[in-house]
Structures are given as structure tokens and as C-alpha cells.
A and B are shown apart, each in its own frame.
Chain A
Amino acid sequence: MSQPILATRGLTRRFGGLVAVGDVSLELHKGRLHALLGPNGAGKSTFINLLSGELEPSGGSITLRGEEISRWTPDRRSRAGLGRSYQRTSVFLDLTVHENCRLAAQSRLPRGWNVLQNAYASFSVREATQASLEAAGLPVHDLRLASALSHGERRQLEIAMVLATRPEVLLLDEPLAGMGSEEAIRIIELLRTLAPSHAILLVEHDMDAVFALADVITVMVNGQVLESGPPDQIRQSPAVRRAYLGDEEGHR
């Protein structure tokens, strides 16, 4: 078994008396798409926030290539190769689409401090910007303000921005939510092409997409891991059926 890129051991986060994430151990490997399922409130987004550094864990460890990172700031984790997208779109609304992506690509520039250079001078930044916009299915020279985009387009931009930072690990929080079916298919195709060269954690409610894409599926309920395994095992698991898949009234 290969060495995991990102791994958690007993990761726990409490909010007062509530255990939002309890004792979750999980491994992300390069070339593997790991999907995280669970009803609303299961702690999926909290888990991603713990991995990306937006929340501090109450207990447990997070290691990146064997190195403990659970006290690292979000920016340091990003520079180390973690890229995340947000469930609630979090783009720069008063900047253009192109600038949103360019800024994301600029974060990889070794001399971001430079005030004596034009922001468009860097070839690598231009290239990463174009490639990521193209991959997410947006026009390459999109000069609309991000605030003028439709909800689905903002979701695409959200993903383009993550890609522009050229991450090794992708933490995607419901990337397909709110997208039109055409765009969703495009992003699913994109994830398929990214999977072999990245470690991906995908939180998603679209079951068809999850079962079509995932190599491993972990099901969370009430902050705990209910079951983890290949899609076939999850599909046939009685516990999962009871707690989640069969519970048609429980969620939309």
C-alpha cells in the first residue's frame, strides 16, 4: 500500500458539548478519489475546515507526507499543496473572473512582494490562469465581474481558483451543488482527469456522481465514520442503507 499524502488519526472537533467531528481517521492517496458522504450536519464541512486549517482540531492529528500539520495556518497548508473549494461560494465578487483566477495563480509566485513588476508579467501565472479557467469551462479572458456571474458559473470559478494554485491535494466541498447539468457533467469529467495525478477528497450529495467517480467512499453520520470502503461495499452496507441512503424523508 502506498504512502498516503494526507492522513488524519483520531481527528476530533468539539463545539462546546457537540462533537462535530469525532475520532475520524482517513487517508488520501495520490491517484485516488475519496468521497465523503453523509446527511446534512454529519460534520463533512467541519472535517474539510479542519484539513484546510480554518478550524483547529480539539484532538487527533493531521499529517501531510508524514509531517504533522494540524497547527499550521491555512495559508501555509495551501503553499504545501492543499487546495480547497468552499461549499458556499467564496470568490472575490468585485474582481473580474480572470483576476479571481490570476490572483489564485499568483499565490504560487516566489516573489509576490514585488511592487516593481506588473502583475501580468509572469508567464507561469498567465499560463496557470488560462489552464484553470479552461479546465473549469469558463472563457479564458472573462472580464465580467464575479458578482455578475450566475450561481453555477460562480461554482465553476470556485473550482478554477483552486486549480490555479496547482494543488496536490484537492478538498472539494460540494463542487456540483447548484450547477446546471451540463456544467456538472463537465466538472465530473474534469475530476476524472484530475484523479490519477491528485489526491482528492470530494464531499458531494450527487450520488450518481459519487458512485461513478469514487475509488473509496467514507460515510459519516453525527460526526463519526459509519463505514468506509470501495463503492460496492458502501452500496451494499446495511448500516449505510439504514442511516443514510434509505432514509428518503431525511433529506432532499
Chain B
Amino acid sequence: MALPGEPATRRPWAILAAGLALALFPLLDSPFYLELITKVMILAIFAMSLDLLVGITGLVSLGHAAYFGIGAYVLALRTPRYDPASFWTTLPLAVGLSALAAFLVGIFVVRVKSTYFIMATLAFAQMFYFLFHDTEFGRGSDGITMNFKPAAAIGDLQVFDFGNPRTTYFVALGALALVLGFLRFLLGSPFGRALRGIKANEQRMRSLGFRTYHYKLASFTLAGALAGLAGYLSALQYGYVNPELLSWHQSGNVLLMVILGGPGTFTGAALGAFGFALLQEVFQAATLRWQLLLGATIVLLVLFVPGGLASLRARFRAALVGGPRP
């Protein structure tokens, strides 16, 4: 039932069906696709974290990969040479430090608007990039290979065995479901509503008494924390990190995923991550100049499907039975 003031936008069946399909997918027993989809689910978390900024708060960041990279590097740097790191301590640490970095950057960047915000987020992301690229501490451009996957033990019991790709797959799926659930719940909370108001008209929000700076800073920090979670999972999956994780290409790609999927719904961002990865696979198999094709496809989609992949269902319905077009 739609609550007063809220059009019925929830699509529990589509989401449940997609979740079920993802849960059953490992039965097909295809190691290549298992790894690919694990990667895409992690990217989906990353894209949803950016959607909180772009689609909900109205802050277009071109430096979101920094927090993804910090999450990944925390695991790499905390993994000892001859022992596995503890999943239980490194995960909160990765999320916490990404949040802290986003908070500190946010103090400066959420003060500025539109183009300046894009430039400021990019500049800070480049700083983090070079922090890992050019320092002893970050081990330079070669990155870090971890000798061990993290261990998730409670007493003597290994809860997750990350040596098994299926475990990583299901942990990524679980994280995706939790993050999606959390973000959609957040949308219905007073905090989420205020963020939407800020996106729609920040000046009016201020004149209504909202401390919009605090709200934007909180949103930026939360988005950084969730990007850090995605980065951590990515490092866990591949056992390897390098500074390219923080590069502006990566920030650009995740922004494209959000735009491709349609900003503002979270499921759209997740869909965008899948669509982006699918196009990438298809074009990579077909030609060496796959990036050209990918770029052209995204331009066409943005031109002709402005609401992104998330709007396709409503478009089909409008075409078939009539009704409002998105």
C-alpha cells in the first residue's frame, strides 16, 4: 500500500525475483560467470552508494572511487605476510576508515555546488590516488598482492571460507541485499526525505529550517562508507589491489553505471552495474575497440532512455496498455 504522499514505486516482486535468480545462479556451476557476477554485485553496491549522492542528494561526485580504493587498501595493508587477516576486524576498519576519509573530504566539498563539487571531489580523489601510487606506504603503482584471504572464524568455527569462490559470491549477494534494503529503508526515513528535498531545492530546505550542510555531509560520509564496503569486498575477491582502483576512470565508470541504470532508485544503479558489465563483456568479446562501442551505446541510451534501465518497465507498460510515461 502506498503511504500518503508517496506514489507506489516499490517493486518487491521484481527485486525478489532478481534476488532468487542470483541465489540460484551458482547451481549452474560456471566458475567464470560466478566470478564475473560476484564482481558485478560488488560494483552494484558501489554504484548504489554513489546513487545516494547523485540520485538522492543531488551531489554529482567524480571522485567516488577514492573511498572504494581506501576500503580495498585497508584489507590489503592489514593482511600480514604469513597469516590471514581477521574478517571481523578488517571489515569494520575498512568501512570506518572510508567513512572517515569521506567525512574529512566532505567537510570541504559539500560546501560547494554543481561543477565546483565535481572538481573538488575529483581533486581529492586524485590526492588519494597519488597517496597510494607514489608512497612507500601504499607500495606504489604495482599494488599489493595478499597471500591470504581474510579468515572469518568464531572460536574454532570458520564461518566463511573465502578460499571458496561460492562463499565470496554469497557474501557479496548478502551484502548487496543488505545495502539495498538499508538504502531503500533510508529513503522512507525523515533523513532520506530531507536528502530528496535538498536535491529538489536546497535553498527552500534551508528556509524551512533544515541544516542542509549537515545532511549533505552525512550523506557523503555514508556513501563513502558503503563504497568502502564494496572496495573491501573487491579486494577480498581478487586478493590484489593497485592504485587504479582509486583512479578517476573508476570514478567515471561508476558514475556511468548510475546514469545507465537511472539515478534515484538504487535498484536502477544496481541494474546499471549489471548492464555496464554485460555491455563490456559483449563488446570486449567482439572487438578490441570495445570502449568506443560502450561509450556510443551509453550515449544513445542516455539520449533515448533518459530514465535509464530502471524506467524500461514503466516504458513498456506505457507502450502496451497506455498510462503515464516516466
Contact = CB atoms under 8 A, between A and B. Distances in A.
Contacts of B4: 98, 120, 141, 143
A109 B190 CA distance: 9
A103 interface: yes
B207 A99 contact: no
Given A92-B200, A106-B193, A75 B207 contact: yes
Contacts of B6: 96, 99, 143
Nearest to B188: A118
Nearest to B182: A115
B208 A114 contact: no
Nearest to A92: B200
Contacts, number: 106
Contacts of A193: none
Contacts of B188: 118-120
A74 B207 contact: yes
Interface of A is mostly: loop
Contacts of A141: 4-5
A92 B207 contact: no
A92 B188 CA distance: 17
A78 B207 contact: yes
Nearest to A118: B188
Contact of B189 (A92, A116, A143, A165): A116
B206 A112 contact: no
A90 interface: yes
Nearest to A96: B5
Interface of B is mostly: helix
A107 interface: yes
Contact of B203 (A54, A117, A143): A54
B200 A54 contact: no
Contacts of B190: 106, 109, 111-114, 117, 119, 122
A90 to B, nearest CB: 5
B99 interface: no
Interface string A135-177: 0000001010000000000000000010001000000000000
A interface, how many residues as a size bin?
A: 35 or more
Given A95-B200, A143-B5, A78 B208 contact: yes
Contacts of A93: 200-201
Interface string B175-211: 0000000000110111111101100110111111111
Contact of B204 (A90, A99, A109, A119): A90
A115 B189 contact: yes
A197 B120 CA distance: 47
A23 B130 CA distance: 54
Contacts of B189: 114-119
A175 to B, nearest CB: 15
A86 B212 CA distance: 19
Nearest to B5: A98
A73 interface: yes
Nearest to B207: A74
A70 B5 CA distance: 36
B285 interface: no
A108 B194 contact: no
Contacts of B200: 92-95
Contact of B193 (A84, A91, A103, A116): A103
B20 interface: no
B154 interface: no
B3 interface: yes
A174 B60 CA distance: 35
A79 interface: yes
A112 B191 contact: yes
A115 B209 contact: no
Contacts of A99: 5-6, 193
Contacts of A86: 204, 207
26 contacts: A73-B206, A74-B206, A75-B205, A75-B211, A75-B212, A84-B207, A91-B201, A92-B200, A94-B200, A95-B200, A96-B7, A102-B193, A103-B193, A103-B205, A106-B194, A107-B210, A112-B191, A113-B218, A114-B190, A114-B191, A115-B186, A116-B189, A119-B193, A120-B3, A120-B188, A143-B2
Interface of B: 2-7, 185-186, 188-194, 196-197, 200-201, 203-212, 218
The 8 residue pairs across chains A and B that have the minimum distance between CB atoms: A78-B209, A98-B5, A107-B209, A92-B200, A99-B5, A79-B209, A107-B208, A75-B206
Given A90-B201, A107-B205, A116-B189, 16 more contacts: A73-B206, A74-B206, A75-B205, A75-B207, A86-B204, A92-B204, A95-B197, A98-B5, A99-B5, A102-B193, A106-B194, A114-B191, A115-B185, A118-B189, A122-B190, A141-B5
